[in-house]
């Protein structure tokens, strides 16, 4: 199986190849530079690996939630590449990617993923590792004030920059059920790929025109208080 993934949903910009279970990745923290970096990253990866876009079985992208601009960049780039190469697309939640990264980095199997949604809110999701070795949501993803997050019973770990931005509030809200957290972990293309590989085997792909962002929030700007 050959997959190409990209993610531009946060300050991080990344692209990665899955070549028969071997992952090659380019990753950079580069706020505001995603549109300039992502295509050269993809080209460099393919050149170094000796593959072309037409060799891929599918394209993968971080569908959101995340930065409105960043998520739109990922969707538009993957749509253009998929149309040009006539390839299917696998959208993957950026919160699920965060949880997958927590497993890969720390072997945490129950993860509360949080991204800073600005305006005093977080993008929030709870994930558990399933029999396929990938993270699955155990409740609906949402955008919510950090003092209003919900979590299932049991012991959890936190992951993502939302934990760095709202550590005190989230720890107070979650109490002893959260044992530890990693606020420096970002979604990245390499974390999308194990999830996407399972989805591809299940036939869970979409067409290029169906590769659309998931924002969770419709309101872009903070409205003034009356």
Residues 50 and 77 in one domain: yes
Question: Mean pLDDT, the chain, as a whole number?
Answer: 94
Same-domain status, 80 and 144? no
Same domain, 133 and 176: yes
Structural domain containing residue 111: 94-182
Question: Is residue 141, in this structure, part of any structural domain at all?
Answer: yes
Mean pLDDT across 75-97: 97
Could you tell me if 42 and 82 lie in one domain?
Answer: yes
User: Does residue 108 sit in the same domain as residue 89?
Assistant: no
> Which CATH number is 79's domain given?
3.30.420.40
Closest CA to 212 of 99, 82, 58: 82
Judge whether residue 225 has pLDDT over 70: no
Q: Is 219 a residue whose pLDDT tops 70?
A: no
Mean pLDDT of 75-87: 97
Specify if 114 maps to a domain: yes
Q: Are 82 and 128 in contact (CB under 8 A)?
A: no
Say yes or no: 124 and 99 in one domain. yes
Based on the domain organization, do 56 and 85 belong to the same domain?
Answer: yes
Q: Are residues 143 and 110 in the same domain?
A: yes
| 51 plus 104 within the same structural domain | no
DSSP string for 46-108: HHHHT--GGG-SEEEEE--SS-HHHHHHHHHHHHHHHHHHT--EEEE-HHHHHHHHHHHHH--
- Residue 108 and residue 43 share a domain: no
Q: pLDDT tens, 151-161?
A: 999 999 999 99
Average pLDDT over residues 72-77: 97
DSSP run (H or E) holding 25: strand 22-29
Quickly state the pLDDT bin for 28 (edges 50, 70, 90): very high
Question: What pTM, to 2 d.p., does this model score?
Answer: 0.93
- Helices 189-202 and 94-106 sit at what angle, rounded to 10 degrees? 110
Query: Does residue 112 form part of some domain?
Result: yes
Q: Average pLDDT of 137-149?
A: 96
Q: How many independent structural domains does the chain possess?
A: 2
pLDDT band at 217, cuts 50/70/90?
Answer: confident
- Asked if the structure places residue 223 within a domain, the reply is no
Residues 6+ apart with CB under 8 A from 145: 120, 121, 122
Cα radius of gyration rounded to whole Å, the chain: 17
Residues 198 and 138 placed together within one structural domain of the fold: no
pLDDT digits (tens, 9 = 90+) for 36-73: 999 999 999 999 999 999 999 999 999 999 999 999 99
């Amino acid at each position: 199986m050959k997959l190409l993934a990209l993610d531009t949903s946060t300050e991080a910009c990344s692209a990665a190849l899955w070549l028969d279970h071997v992952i090659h990745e380019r990753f950079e923290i580069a706020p505001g530079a995603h549109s300039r970096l992502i295509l050269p990253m993809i080209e460099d990866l393919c050149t170094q690996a000796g593959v072309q876009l037409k060799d891929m079985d599918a394209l993968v992208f971080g569908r959101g939630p995340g930065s409105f601009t960043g998520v739109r960049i990922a969707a538009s780039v993957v749509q253009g590449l998929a149309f040009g190469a006539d390839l299917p697309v696998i959208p993957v939640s950026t919160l699920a990617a965060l949880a997958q990264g927590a497993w890969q980095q720390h072997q945490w199997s129950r993860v509360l993923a949080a991204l800073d949604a600005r305006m005093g809110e977080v993008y929030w999701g709870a994930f558990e590792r399933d029999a396929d070795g990938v993270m699955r949501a155990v409740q609906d993803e949402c955008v919510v004030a950090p003092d209003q997050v919900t979590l299932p019973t049991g012991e959890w770990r936190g992951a993502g920059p939302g934990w760095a931005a709202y550590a005190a509030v989230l720890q107070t809200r979650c109490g002893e059920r959260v044992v530890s957290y990693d606020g420096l972990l970002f979604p990245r293309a390499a974390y999308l790929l194990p999830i996407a590989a399972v989805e591809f085997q299940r036939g869970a792909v979409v067409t290029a025109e169906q590769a659309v962002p998931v924002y969770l929030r419709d309101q872009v700007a903070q409205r003034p208080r009356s």
